Structure 1
Amino acid sequence: MDQAQSRALEALQPFIHLTTSSTASSPRFVANIIANATSNPNTYVFAELLETPAVQALRSSETPEEFRGYLKLLEIFAWGTWQEYQETAGLPALNNEQALKLRLLSLLTLSSTLRPLTYQGLMQALSITSAAELESLVTTAIYSSLIVARLSPATNPPTVNVTAVAPLRDVRAQTVSAMISILSEWEDRCGDIINGIEAEIAKIKDQTVKNAIMDRQRTAALEKAIADWDGESNENTTGAAGLRGKNVKHGVRQAKAGFRPGSSSAAGGTSNKREYSADDLEDEDDGYFENGSDGGLDVYGSRMDIDEGLGGSSSTGRATGPAAARQTKRLLGVGRKT
């Protein structure tokens, strides 16, 4: 599309040079330049030609009436449409090349403004009587790189689907101020958005710095707390370790002696209670052993409290010590080993 605009500008340059030459003082000569420029198959933009002094001189009241219409005709080719030409009186008649050119330029404008782009709407806007003629015009515009479009004659209604339009229409001078106002307003909105984004970025950066400072402070406080806790725990561990060691040794001696926690001391003549199990019977076996062949009682896992003193008998006449253990085995019905 940009190449089409470049080609159109290049095609217009010879006509611009003719209007700036010294021989372009005659209104007839300028009118012929306009007719040739609008008939050329490669010219689609005409703003630069309109701005030349020779063309603008056609507005003078001294210009013959038959040539004044060429200035208006050039303006229609620059930014007007076929309908505008039809509705304006006093304009020169168009040859076939000019009629095709103006219809093609009008198709560019209609493709940007008319939705949907139906066959019926285009035929009415371009004064075309048959669908075949319209399709030929659209095909010419496509191959001239003026539009990117697809014909859909089978749809209801038949339409022309345009997806791209070449920037080959000039802008009316009256609309420039309005466009500048719109662009200025858009620029102000963009500036406000950019300022808001920059303010948010500054706020995020400031918050990031504050968060980093807080993280360093929390890390330092945590490291200090861990260091203080390690020192105190080492002292406590040293003091408690000796106490635990003593308790463990005392417990081992009690286990070897067969004392239960909470039992009374053997000193002073009082009896000590010892908890016996099957393992004790195995360790102190004196010839009598668990279940014999005679089917005695099973004492594995059983426990009994046996009074045992320091001597062979207590004050009550009971047997104590190893004798008491053997007597207990006999009472339980434990047979001898065979």
Structure 2
Amino acid sequence: MDQTHTRALEALQPFIHLANSTSTSSPRLIANLISNATSNPQTYFFAELLENPTIQSLRSPDTPAEYQGYLTLLEIFSWGTWEEYQSTPNLPALSPEQTLKLRLLSLLTLSVTIKHLTYENLMTALSITNPAELESLVTAAIYSSLLTGRLSPASSPPTVNVTSVAPLRDVKPQSLSRMISVLADWETRCGDVISDIEAEIANIKENAEKQREKEKARKSVFEKAIEECSSEKGGENVPSSRMARKMARFGTGAGGIGNKREFSSDDHDDDGYFENGSYGAVDPGLEGRMDIDEGTGSSRGARQVKRVLGRKT
């Protein structure tokens, strides 16, 4: 599509140069220039040529009637359709090349403005009576890169499915105000959407900040509660800690059996009894001493330890 656009601009330049270099405003010469420009198979833009002062000189009241219609014809080639040409009186007859060109340009406009491009709609708009002629026209447009699509003659009704159209039509000056209005409305809607998005983002950030502050306060309360609990129960945990150290030193606890060792004099509670994790009967004859029986064990010399605890003397 871009190459077609470039070729169309390049094809029009010789005609613009010829209009600029013309020293005389001969209506016949200008009419001949318009006919050649609209017959060229590569020209699809005509607005720049239409705005040329030499071409605009045909609007003069002194222009012969037989040439006055050429300026209107060039306007139809710029932004009009085949139907407009058919409905406008006093226009010059078209050559076969001009007929094909105007129908191709009209097909581009119809592909944008008509939702369902049926054979019937296109044949009526382009004054074509034979479906094969319509198919030939659409095929020529596709091979010229004017549009992309496919023919569906077997569908009901037969249709032309157009997927894209080359931007090769000029804009009618009277439609500029409407286009500006449409673009202004579109800009307003875009601004409203952006404002809504920004408000939603601000709301999300605000909620996230509140959630962070809430979590921070909850964590602070939790840590303070832990500190207060540890401070209040700190004194009660001392005996348990001393007992745990004693059990670790004796090698007891959790049903474990300690190794043979001597008891020190401070390994007792305030009541004067030794501790081994349980309180059993004490043999009065064994006060102040500890007997250790070593029995036979495994082949590695494992020893079975029997400890008898008594009251110290």
TM-score for the superposition, normalised by structure 2: 0.74
Q: What is the CA distance between 1:169 and its match in structure 2?
A: 1.2
For the residue of structure 2 that corresponds to 1:162, the secondary structure is strand
Structure 1 SS opposite 2:21: coil
The aligned residue for residue 14 of structure 1 is: 14
**How many percent of aligned residue pairs carry the same amino acid?**
60
Q: Displacement, 1:76?
A: 0.6
Distance change (3 Å), C-alpha of 1:233 and 1:98 = same
Matched position secondary structure for 1:129: coil
Task: Give the equivalent residue in structure 2 for 1:201.
Answer: 201
Aligned-residue CA RMSD in angstroms? Answer: 2.5
Residue of structure 1 in register with 2:119 after alignment: 119
Q: How far apart in 2 are the matches of 1:32 and 1:187?
A: 45
Amino acid at match of 2:167: P
Structure 1's unaligned 5+ residue stretches are 258-338
1:1-338 equivalences in 2 (<5 Å): 1-238=1-238, 256=281
- Distance (Å, rounded) in 2 between the aligned partners of 1:70 and 1:107: 22
After TM superposition, give the deviation of residue 50 of structure 1 in Å. 1.2
Q: Distance in 2 between matches of 1:113 and 1:22?
A: 39
1:146-192 per-position Cα deviation (integer Å, ceiling 9, x unaligned): 11111111222221111111111111111110110110111011112
Counterpart residue type for residue 46 of structure 1: F
C-alpha distance after superposition, 1:181-214 (max 9, x if no partner): 1101110111121122222222322333333233
Distance in 2, matches of 1:242 and 1:197, equals: 64
C-alpha displacement at 1:94, in angstroms? 0.5
Q: CA 1:35–1:225 in structure 2 vs 1: closer, same or farther (change >3 Å)? A: same
Query: How far apart, CA to CA, are the structure 2 residues paired with 1:133 and 1:53?
Result: 39
Paired residues of 1:18 and 1:24 also in contact (CA < 8 A): no
Residue in 2 that maps onto 1:312: none
Hey, what's the Cα distance between the residues in 2 that align with 1:85 and 1:108? 16
> Secondary structure, in 3 states, of the residue corresponding to 1:62?
coil
Deviations 1:243-294 (A, max 9, x none): 9x89998x965x649xxxxxxxxxxxxxxxxxxxxxxxxxxxxxxxxxxxxx
- Residues 195-246 of structure 1: CA deviation (Å, up to 9, x unaligned): 2222222232233333323322322222222122122223222367899x89
Give the number of the structure whose alpha-carbon radius of gyration is greater: 1
| Aligned counterparts of 1:215 and 1:130: Cα–Cα separation in 2 | 78
SS in 2 for 1:41: coil
Comparing 108-117 with 20-29, greater Cα deviation is found at 20-29
Equivalent residues of 1:31, 1:67 under 8 A apart = yes
Question: What number of residue pairs does the alignment pair up?
Answer: 255
| Greater mean deviation of Cα atoms: 15-24 or 56-65 | 15-24
Unmatched tracts of structure 2, length 5 or more: 244-268, 283-313
